[in-house]
A and B are shown apart, each in its own frame.
Chain A
Amino acid sequence: MVKKKCVAMLLAGGQGSRLHSLTTNIAKPAVPFGGKYRIIDFTLSNCTNSGIDTVGVLTQYQPLVLNTYIGIGSAWDLDRRNGGVTVLPPYTESTGVKWYTGTANAIYQNMNYLEQYNPEYVLILSGDHIYKMDYSKMLDYHIQNEADATISVVEVPWDEASRFGIMNTNSELEILEFDEKPKNPKNNLASMGIYIFNWSQLKKYLDVDNINTESTHDFGKDLIPLFLKENKRLIAYPFQGYWKDVGTVKSLWEANMDLLEDNPGLNLFDHSWRIYSRNPNQPPQYLSVQAVVKESLINEGCYIEGTVHHSVIFQGVEIKEGASLHQAVVLPDAVIGKNATVERAIIPEGIIIPDGITIKPEEGSDEIILVTNEMIEQLRKDVTA
């Protein structure tokens, strides 16, 4: 196999339990976002746009949708003769089935995959975040700084710093300390879960970590502290731009709403950094004579007869006459019935909102409703009662 300079390993096994019913049947990276994408599209497109053509995708939780979605990677131009995308699920060995017990363990178990390409550098990514980033610049930075590991960091507001893994650095951006969710943060540079390692070093320390019975085999909690203990050179790579962890219903909703701003932090219309996705191949959207659509993103295949304000509508959605949406995110193939009203809500794929039903948070509440079939059943009973 031809040697590769840099191979990406994309951790996509996350359950995303705080997304509730959105992740009952799919892993978090497969959750729909932005009117036509899935979360993982951003990381995969970043790889392609950064010239990284070899990507291992590590799956574990509910992989069916994700596996089918990724396929042979052609949507992201990752169907390559040498390299391309490879889905790496946990596997059985003669000694038994080995689940991925931590992020570092997932890489450890796929050393064979990396050995095939014998790369100089390994880029560790997470499939949970929405952002656009040129990894080739980070790699140049890593090489210029002669680092053993480079960790991408983003400035977060000080009052939120205790929710993140914080990198304490000196003025040269050398990492001195890693604080996982510190009560009294000393810095506001949060780890984005993006690491570049020299493969020879990473291999060595994965072996060390693997035999440590105290370890949870996690990059943030175990590997980075181990590198620091061994006085390795760890450098922070400051990232500027839009970056969002969409781990909760609220943050997923907010990230969708962010796209509707006048000059959104995340520009989906930039032809020089396209976000690729598997195209649903549906006809153009139709807006009827009664339709009113403002401040919204609407995808192919929608049929709109109602009113849509400040909302994100995925492909194949039907919005019937008299229906009204405000600050809603409607996932593929949902139907909003006649005269139904939906506000500040996420409507999952394929859900049918019956005619005349109203779904909105209580006055003054900043809650975001994740609509479920049970909820609709209840509302329907209330209406008929």
Chain B
Amino acid sequence: MNNNTKKGLFQPQLIRDALWQSVLKLDPRQMFRNPVMFTVEIGTAIMLVVTILSMRSGADVATLGNPGYNFVIFILLFLTVLFANFAEAFAEARGKAQAESLRKTRKDTPARLLLDGGTTTTVSSSDLRRGDRFVCEAGDIIPTDGEIIEGLATIDESAITGESAPVIREAGGDKSSVTGGTKVLSDRIVASVTVQPGESFLDKMIALVEGASRQKTPNEIALTILLAGFTLVFVIVCITLKPFADYANTPISIAAYVSLFVCLIPTTIGGLLSAIGIAGMDRALRANVITKSGKAVETAGDIDVLLLDKTGTITIGNRRATNFYATEGTHRDDVIRSSVLSSLADETPEGKSIVELASPELVKELSIEGATLIKFTAETRTSGVNLADGTRIRKGAQDTIRQLVERAGNAFPEDIAKEIKYISSNGGTPLAVTVNEKVVGAIELQDIIKPGISERFERLRKMGIKTVMVTGDNPLTAKFIAQKAGVDDFIAEAKPEDKMEYIKKEQQEGRLVAMMGDGTNDAPALAQADVGVAMNSGTQAAKEAGNMVDLDNDPTKLIEVVEIGKQLLMTRGTLTTFSIANDVAKYFAIVPALFMASIPALQHLNIMRLYSPESAILSAVIFNALIIPALIPLALKGVEYKPIGASAMLRRNLFIYGLGGIVVPFLGIKLIDLLVTMFF
């Protein structure tokens, strides 16, 4: 993981930046986006005017009040606005710092631009344009994001992922992407530039965090409306209070009106709202996931169905060939030879593992001079070779092979069919091998399920998310692994369009679907899914199609992304509850304070026994201001999500933030009142 996470929440440099930003954010044009805090700013401006007016000699003390007191209220309101701005600025600064530390890895580096003639010329990485081709050799830093079009290399991606083990990237497959700032350790590659300078996903994300292109997410808009509604209720309460007070012959100072208003409107959540949203994207980034919009994070929290590739997610790495079986009358070595020959054109790891399983001596003596290689594709699900002598060797999934064999008029041998069933029922994947459309044997591939994965699925199930395993295996194998790993459903013998269909079907039934993918043929499904996470190692098409990019290439990352999304919504919900529940105590502090002098009967409402009307109002305003910075850590870290079911979660949060929201300000205001009275 990234080194930044080890540092504390508050770094001095970030705080300094954020402080300055919070002053700049006082600009009313910016404040206007946040209706709650904007009204506080207006209140602050009113108090400034009142303070100045009350300082003039001969001012009307009854309505304008004591200048010193007015000034203190003005300062407190000003601080309230500043604290709210600081929360937002600080969240921005943290997100930016995180993104910058990733971007630093891709400062200007020399790049070797490949010219049309095949020669190279050294240019700065910032001069590279989309479509340019560059060359990297062992020891070079890759200048910018690109896609390998030629060659293979081991690459150290630790600068991005924090993972020290080198990875292999090569042309053609689904692992053809290289990232700027990573280092080539061996071999030579030619890559094509895929992004314009300043337009990489990271650049987009930084712009998102900085606020320039940050758009409010649907839930954030709905919540802002709710908060604006509550603010309006208190506008009504405070305006009507004036004639009420006149009727009751109670003069109320402007400072008291403004204080009452600011204390009642939901400043706590209003001040922290945008910080919570930014922190969500930031937390995603800390998990090494680049999000293309805030909405994607929010949607992740709503996911109902999770599509996971079996390979790499549920099972460790790839299936490996573990055994060869021969049909009656065929020598095992012949089966191995045919298997190897047919796998030469199979670039998948399974294909390679077949070659590796066969003994090197056997492989060495094979020749494919004049042969035609038939490449493995996901559609045909077979690969093979037509030898120079006309022998046709194929290997592939048993059902495809069965079709092939039966179309040629040959029977599928009983003993191999039995073996295949046996392999499948043990969770292995059987492949059949044919020579001239006659089955000669079978290959067993085996999967190893990742330790701890079934606990993660259990957790997802508790969160209400259905997990679906996508695999090219036959249904029997798929079922075995699905059961063993504990997924809810599986798509066996999956072709790329199957994923797409499954997603569409679930979406038609109203569910939200997330998937992770890397290949170009995943791109349509990634685009169709409500949350599509592309692996950074994947093809450019996949990365463009998804709405998140995972820098770690970790397929289980989806689980974390979902939790981040849920935390984001929960933090908003709980802080809204807390903020509104706070008002109960504030009413009991301020309302008696307003009327105690002229209506002594109402002192019974002063249940906190606050010292005086002035100290009561002051304490409420101070509490109201201080609660914002006090909750910044919670807003940034997010409320902890526990998969205990929605009702239990609601009970828990209602208890902590609802009941807590009522109790805490009673204690807080009383405590502040005790401190404040020392100055009276």
A, B from the same assembly: no
